[in-house]
Amino acid sequence: MQYPEPIAKLIDSYMKLPGIGSKTATRLAFYTIDMRTDDVDAFAKSLVAAKHDLHYCSICGNITDDDPCEICRDSGRDQGTILVVEQPKDVMSIDRTGDYHGLYHVLHGVLSPIDGRGPDDLNIASLIKRLQANATVHEVIVATNATPEGEATAQYLSRLIKPAGIKVTRLAHGLAVGSDIEYADEMTLLKAVEGRTEL
Ligand SMILES: [Zn+2]
């Protein structure tokens, strides 16, 4: 027996999410049907709003519903440091430690020759423009993940930025090799930012 089309479509949609196979997708689809109509409507609305109302900050590349984003607009933050991360969710992880008060820049990936991802595919040009336009920046902290691609990207940025007389540092290796910023606990991140080393 085939599922009625609306259920089949819902199962297909759930299966597009990471880590969700057909069994889980089917369970979620049937759960959704049993949910209160109000809750389903709110759920659908929040999905659409998240996709349509959010965009990337024109300055730092972080995800925001306002441009520039809240962090870029905050003149109380240290305008002299920019911490460079791979993904918007890394901004949240590091900012939650409460120990870093500077600005951010989101690359939206790392250099990966195997995947054909070069400097032009990342949010690097806007970082350079930012540094040229803002003479108060004296340090760029590269907080890419501790993977070979993350390291290569850090080295690349260092070679690019250092000639301008700006200090380039890398997070301390409290972070396990191959690990993602996203999954590090707050204490580890705090130590990694405090113990950063110059590149
Ligand atoms: Zn921003």
| Ion ligand 1: protein residues whose beta carbon lies under 5 Å | 57, 59-60, 62, 68-69, 72
CA of 180 to the centre of ligand 1 (A): 22
Within this chain, do residues 63 and 153 fall inside the same structural domain, yes or no?
Answer: yes
CA of 166 to the centre of ligand 1 (A): 20
Name which of 83, 82, 89, 98 is nearest 187 in CA terms: 98
State the Cα–Cα distance between residues 99 and 91, nearest whole angstrom. 13
State the Cα–Cα distance between residues 16 and 81, nearest whole angstrom. 38
CA of 56 to the centre of ligand 1 (A): 8
CA of 61 to the centre of ligand 1 (A): 6
pLDDT in tens, the chain (199 residues): 789 999 999 999 999 999 999 999 999 999 999 999 999 999 999 999 988 999 999 999 999 999 999 999 999 999 999 999 999 999 999 998 888 999 999 999 999 988 899 999 999 999 999 999 988 999 999 999 888 899 999 999 999 999 989 999 988 765 565 667 676 777 777 777 777 878 7
49 and 42 Cβ atoms separated by less than 8 Å: no
Name which of 65, 77, 178, 95 is nearest 134 in CA terms: 77
CA of 116 to the centre of ligand 1 (A): 27
pTM: 0.77
Residue 106's domain spans which residues? 56-198
Within this chain, do residues 34 and 77 fall inside the same structural domain, yes or no?
Answer: no
CA of 106 to the centre of ligand 1 (A): 9
* Distance, CA of 49 to chain centre: 19
- Long-range Cβ contact pairs of 174-177 (< 8 A, separation 24 or more): 175/145, 175/146, 176/146, 177/146
Which CATH number covers residue 69? 3.40.1360.10
CA of 174 to the centre of ligand 1 (A): 27
Split into its structural domains, the chain has a count of 2
CA torsion sign, 12 to 18 to 23 to 29? Answer: negative
CA of 39 to the centre of ligand 1 (A): 32
Within this chain, do residues 89 and 172 fall inside the same structural domain, yes or no?
Answer: yes
